[in-house]
Amino acid sequence: MGGIFTKILILGSQARYETYLPPLPFIRQQELVFLNQESSREDILAAAGDASILFVDAITPVPASVICSLPNLKMIHSEGVAFDKIDLAAAKARGIYVCNNKGCNAGAVAEQTVLLMLMLLRSSLRGDRAVRTGRQMEMKERCMSAGIKELSDCRIGLVGYGDIAKAVAERLLPFDCELYYYTKHRRGREEEMQHGLTYLSLEELAATCDFVSLHCAVTEETRGMVDEHFLERMKDSAYLINTARGELVDNLALREALIQGKIAGAGLDTLSPEPVPADHPLVTMPAPAGDRIVLSPHLGGITEASFRRGHLHMWRNAERVADGHKPDNIVNGVE
């Protein structure tokens, strides 16, 4: 039987948590307090100042001011994979675990990645509009004249090589693409051969590949990594895919590259900031550049199966901490 906490604070949708609540006896012993993600520090302290566990959406900020105001806090758990909105240093200074759901949505995000690639190659959004407005044959003739490149003819470059990038590689193998990857620490030859991957430096990958697909975490080193200089290295026939985090991309640099035709297009499941404002520079693209970008509302990792896996992991980690044990997937170095 797990230990008992006074309160578990959840900054997120109560309906979503109830939908994916796993059948663990431990949960019935807890007092769950739900607040929305925009709750102020004062709201949090008033409702759950003595909370021992904090569950948060992956894009919800958890600043030091909140962390330091919760004296009983033992663990902060991201509902997703990302954790860059949580002040890791402040949590570590107090010995508070910060954990994530590493790998829980890898397959789902990989599917979204391949979807965006295919949508760009097949001009899916323009095609849909053409059919709806009676211009089917006009669009078809234009595509036949311009040519449609198959995914099997593409060189795919994966930037980062964690769970999601591996899942993307596995799903692309049947397409018979050429697969390349870059990560700070190169993998062994056996693993490269298993996934049909060739290692390239970041600069070589940007210059070589028809698709550059981002699969790395946001750090001080990677924030804004896709900037003017990165985009200039890419081929003018190449596409950028981002199913990782919007903070990896310089929005204005990408907008300009699309307008100037320096790259062929972009497929983005994530934008920064989030929520995405209606006047975002990558949302308000002028024609014809706007036809070369496909946007999706950060749907990659939010499948039913992903949530079931992620929520089960979160509650099991809470039970571990309640029992005085160390949780897994600790991202802030607390021992």
Q: What token pair was written down for 116?
A: 């965006």
How far apart (Å, rounded) are the C-alpha atoms in residues 275 and 315? 27
Q: Is the peptide bond before 275 cis (omega within 30 degrees of 0)?
A: yes
Strands in 265-268's sheet, in edge-to-edge order, are: 197-199, 178-182, 155-159, 211-214, 239-242, 265-268, 293-295
**Catalytic position from the list 298, 309, 313, 320:** 298
- Asked if residue 298 lies in contact with residue 274, where contact means CB atoms within 8 angstroms, the answer is yes
**Catalytic position from the list 111, 192, 256, 274:** 274
SS3 content of the chain, % helix, strand, coil (to 5): 40, 15, 45
Burial of residue 278 (number of CB atoms within 10 Å: 0-12, 13-18, 19+): exposed
Of residues 296, 289, 208, the one with CA closest to residue 254: 289
> Contacts for 87-93 with beta carbons within 8 Å, 24 or more apart?
87/62, 87/63, 88/331, 88/332, 88/333, 89/64, 89/332, 90/63, 90/64, 91/67, 91/332, 91/334, 92/332, 92/333, 92/334
Question: What confidence score (pLDDT) does residue 59 get?
Answer: 87
**Catalytic position from the list 155, 215, 245, 280:** 245
Verify whether residue 274 is a known catalytic residue: yes
Question: What confidence score (pLDDT) does residue 85 get?
Answer: 94
The domain spans of the chain are 8-104+303-322, 106-295
**Phi/psi of residue 294, each to 5°?**
-115, 125
Q: Which residues of 182-200 are buried (b: 16+ CB within 10 A; e: fewer)?
A: bbeeeeeeeebeebebeeb
Verify whether residue 298 is a known catalytic residue: yes
CATH 3.40.1280.10 matches 8-104+303-322: no
State how far the alpha carbon of 203 is from the alpha carbons of 52, 142, 184, 196, 209, in Å.
Answer: 45, 34, 13, 20, 10
Angle between helices 106-121 and 163-172 (to 10 degrees): 50
Q: What is the pLDDT along the chain (335 residues), one digit of tens a residue?
A: 445 567 999 999 999 999 999 999 999 999 999 999 999 999 999 999 999 999 999 889 999 999 999 999 999 999 999 899 999 999 999 999 999 999 999 999 999 999 999 999 999 999 999 999 999 999 999 999 999 999 999 999 999 999 999 999 999 999 999 999 999 999 999 999 998 999 999 999 999 999 999 999 999 999 999 999 999 999 999 999 999 999 999 999 999 999 999 999 999 999 999 999 999 999 999 999 999 999 999 999 999 999 999 999 999 999 999 999 999 999 999 99
pLDDT tens-digit readout, 41-70: 999 999 999 999 999 998 899 999 999 999
47 membership: H or E segment, kind and range:
helix 41-48
Ramachandran region, residue 280 (left: φ > 0; alpha: ψ -120 to 50; beta: rest): beta
How far apart (Å, rounded) are the C-alpha atoms in residues 319 and 238? 47
> What's the pTM value of the predicted model, to 2 decimals?
0.90
Q: What token pair was written down for 195?
A: 């996934």
Question: What confidence score (pLDDT) does residue 4 get?
Answer: 59
Using CA atoms in the order 181, 184, 185, 191, what is the torsion angle rounded to 10 degrees?
A: -10
Torsion sign over Cα 265, 266, 272, 273: positive
So what CATH class is 106-295? alpha beta
Same fold yes or no, 8-104+303-322 and 106-295: yes
- Asked if residue 37 lies in contact with residue 78, where contact means CB atoms within 8 angstroms, the answer is no
Question: What confidence score (pLDDT) does residue 113 get?
Answer: 98
Verify whether residue 245 is a known catalytic residue: yes
